[in-house]
């Protein structure tokens, strides 16, 4: 009885301390003039919250809601408090002024079932592991020097793409699937960067090709998985996404194991010193670091890095270039201006090289305009608050999920004149860039969680687009389909089929 009395006294003391601390916290907020109110938003339904409002294209639905409730909007997605940001000013608040508070990622099915239980760079929560892997990317793997060392890979593979397009079209006699050729290009470049060789579809298990695997990963990664928002329903897998995530992860994991095994076998067979004349690929560098004393890079970490590179390297570049070509086919005057710039800079007697791209100011304006209207990631990968924070008089509690709607920002008529029209001229003479410093143009995100592969992505996209427009005149049958598809990246729903006509004075590619 005495022990029970002591226990009750201790419990009451703890409860009183908690109550006092909470009261003191609320009093301090009130004394500072901070009102504990949430941003405006639609009234949630029981259990579902506001999930029913997302529709098939959440970035479009959230953009429409932002016009009603404002550029900082509160939703309850299932049981998860969520804030949606839809203006440059608000994006700057979350990604710069309060960057550290919102530097984490929420635990989610994609991170758990595809990304090796959050061991990749993109989906891992903020902490020591993320800092280690981010430093690895910026200091070792994705430096300007290392990306430049793979310049010959990009130029070789882009030339191979041009040759394949010409052959597949029957020397201009029929249309080709532009997305398919771009997918092969980015797949080959990315594989050569992390594995020093290309891989054919039959080297994947499960009867899937690289394109199908990448598309499946981006589709399931872009879905709003009900179990992430209503944990009590997680076990039911009502949408079937968990089953699909596990299946595609299994296919990828076998591929990644094959890549690492090949590297380990080669190192044992030839020895490290016999390969000094070969440019080290990304897996080489990570294996070197794994063998360095004091490093804690595991086999799983290497597989997670391959995953990030394969998906980010393939899908975002393909999506951007296909949208850019489609917009230019719908705007022939703009296309003529791009081609005229390339003729003035390079002529028609040779193909464009990567060193030429820096001279093509208008081409880069086209790329920026495509990013504005068609960002590959229309909703940035969600952030999560690590502590409570007040922004614009609204209190954002800890564990709140934050989505930045860069698609809505790019089409904001208060920011962009003629916001829904494709006008690359708006960037002429402008210092506006896509590297995360201009919050009205954030295709790669910003702050601590901005994409570390910006330089690599731009190098591939700009060179591929320049070669496609410099080597060929393109025609399509009927109207260009601009319907959006679905996924974490948003491609055109139906692949672009176009007919190429050789336009250079040099011989046809063979």
Q: Tokens for 351, please give them.
A: 């193909």
Query: How is 359-427 classified by DSSP, letter by letter?
Result: T-HHHHHHHHHHHHHS-SSSBPPPEE-SS-EEETTEEE-TT-EEEEBHHHHHT-TTTSTTTTS--GGGG
Give me the pLDDT at residue 10, please: 54
Tokens 């916290």 belong to which residue? 25
CATH class of segment(s) 34-502? mainly alpha
Contacts by residues 25-30 (CB-CB < 8 Å, ≥ 24 positions apart): 29/395
Tell me how far apart the alpha carbons of residues 110 and 112 are, in angstroms, rounded to a whole number. 5
Closest to 104 (Cα-Cα) out of 79, 131, 78: 131
Give me the pLDDT at residue 162, please: 97
Give me the pLDDT at residue 11, please: 46
Boundaries of every domain in the chain: 34-502
Give me the pLDDT at residue 78, please: 95
CA distances from 216 to 177, 203, 249, 342 (A): 19, 17, 10, 36
Q: What is the DSSP letter of 49?
A: B
Tell me how far apart the alpha carbons of residues 367 and 454 are, in angstroms, rounded to a whole number. 13
Tell me how far apart the alpha carbons of residues 472 and 335 are, in angstroms, rounded to a whole number. 12
Q: What is the CA radius of gyration of the chain?
A: 25
pLDDT tens digits for the chain (510 residues)?
A: 444 345 445 544 554 545 555 545 554 554 444 457 999 999 999 999 999 999 989 999 999 999 999 999 999 999 999 999 999 999 999 999 999 999 999 999 999 999 999 999 999 999 999 999 999 999 989 999 999 999 999 999 999 999 999 999 999 999 999 999 999 999 999 999 999 999 887 777 666 778 888 888 888 888 899 999 999 999 999 899 999 999 999 999 999 999 999 999 988 887 655 555 567 899 999 998 887 756 678 999 999 999 998 888 788 999 999 999 999 999 999 999 999 999 999 999 999 999 999 999 999 999 999 999 999 999 999 999 999 999 999 999 999 999 999 999 999 999 999 999 999 999 999 999 999 999 999 999 999 999 999 999 999 999 999 999 999 999 999 899 999 998 888 999 999 999 999 999 987 776
Q: Taking the CB of residue 151, how many other CB atoms lie within 10 A of it?
A: 14
Q: pTM here?
A: 0.90
Q: What is the 3-state secondary structure (H, E, C) of 228-293?
A: HHCHHHHHHCCCCHHHHHHHHHHHHHHHHHHHHHHHHHHHHHHCHHHHCCCCCCHHHHHHHHHCCC
């Amino acid at each position: 009885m005495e022990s029970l009395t002591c226990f009750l006294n201790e419990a009451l003391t703890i409860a009183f301390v908690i109550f006092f601390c909470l009261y003191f916290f609320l009093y301090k907020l009130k004394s500072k003039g901070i009102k504990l109110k949430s941003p405006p938003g639609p009234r949630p339904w029981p259990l579902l919250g506001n999930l029913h409002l997302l529709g098939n294209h959440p970035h479009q639905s959230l953009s429409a809601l932002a016009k009603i409730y404002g550029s900082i909007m509160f939703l309850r997605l299932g049981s998860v408090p969520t804030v949606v940001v839809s203006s440059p000013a608000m994006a700057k608040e979350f990604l710069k002024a309060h960057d550290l508070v919102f530097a984490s990622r929420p635990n989610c099915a994609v991170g758990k079932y595809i990304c090796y239980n959050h061991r990749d760079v993109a989906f891992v929560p903020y902490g020591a592991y993320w800092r280690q892997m981010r430093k690895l990317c910026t200091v070792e793997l994705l430096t300007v020097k290392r990306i430049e060392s793979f310049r010959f890979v990009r130029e070789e593979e882009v030339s191979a793409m041009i040759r394949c397009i010409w052959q597949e079209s029957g020397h201009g006699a029929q249309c080709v699937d532009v997305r398919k050729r771009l997918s092969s290009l980015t797949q080959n470049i990315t594989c050569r960067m992390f594995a020093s060789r290309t891989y054919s579809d039959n080297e994947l298990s499960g009867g899937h090709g690289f394109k199908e695997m990448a598309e499946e990963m981006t589709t399931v990664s872009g879905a709003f998985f009900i179990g992430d928002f209503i944990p009590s329903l997680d076990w039911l897998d009502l949408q079937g996404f968990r089953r699909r995530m596990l299946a595609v992860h299994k296919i990828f994991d076998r591929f990644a194991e094959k890549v690492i095994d090949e590297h380990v076998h080669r190192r044992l067979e030839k020895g490290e010193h016999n390969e000094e004349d070969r440019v080290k690929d990304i897996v080489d560098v990570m294996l070197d670091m794994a063998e360095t004393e004091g490093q804690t890079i595991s086999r799983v970490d290497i597989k997670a890095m391959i995953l990030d590179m394969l998906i980010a390297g393939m899908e975002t570049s393909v999506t951007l270039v296909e949208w850019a070509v489609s917009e230019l086919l719908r705007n022939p005057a703009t296309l003529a201006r791009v081609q005229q710039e390339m003729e003035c800079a390079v002529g028609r007697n040779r193909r464009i090289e990567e060193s030429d791209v820096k001279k093509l100011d208008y081409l880069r304006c086209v790329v920026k305009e495509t990013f504005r209207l068609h960002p590959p990631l229309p909703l940035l990968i969600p952030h999560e608050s690590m502590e409570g924070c007040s922004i614009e008089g609204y209190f954002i509690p800890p564990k709140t999920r934050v989505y930045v709607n860069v698609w809505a920002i790019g089409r904001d008529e208060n920011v962009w004149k003629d916001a829904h029209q494709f006008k690359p001229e708006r960037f002429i003479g402008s210092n506006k860039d896509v590297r995360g410093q201009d919050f009205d143009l954030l295709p790669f995100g910003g702050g601590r969680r901005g994409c570390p592969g910006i330089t690599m992505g731009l190098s591939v996209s700009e060179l591929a687009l320049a070669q496609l427009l410099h080597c060929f005149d393109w025609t399509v049958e009927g109207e260009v389909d601009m319907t959006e598809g679905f996924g974490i990246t948003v491609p055109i729903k139906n692949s672009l089929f176009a007919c190429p006509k050789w336009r250079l004075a040099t011989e046809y590619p063979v």
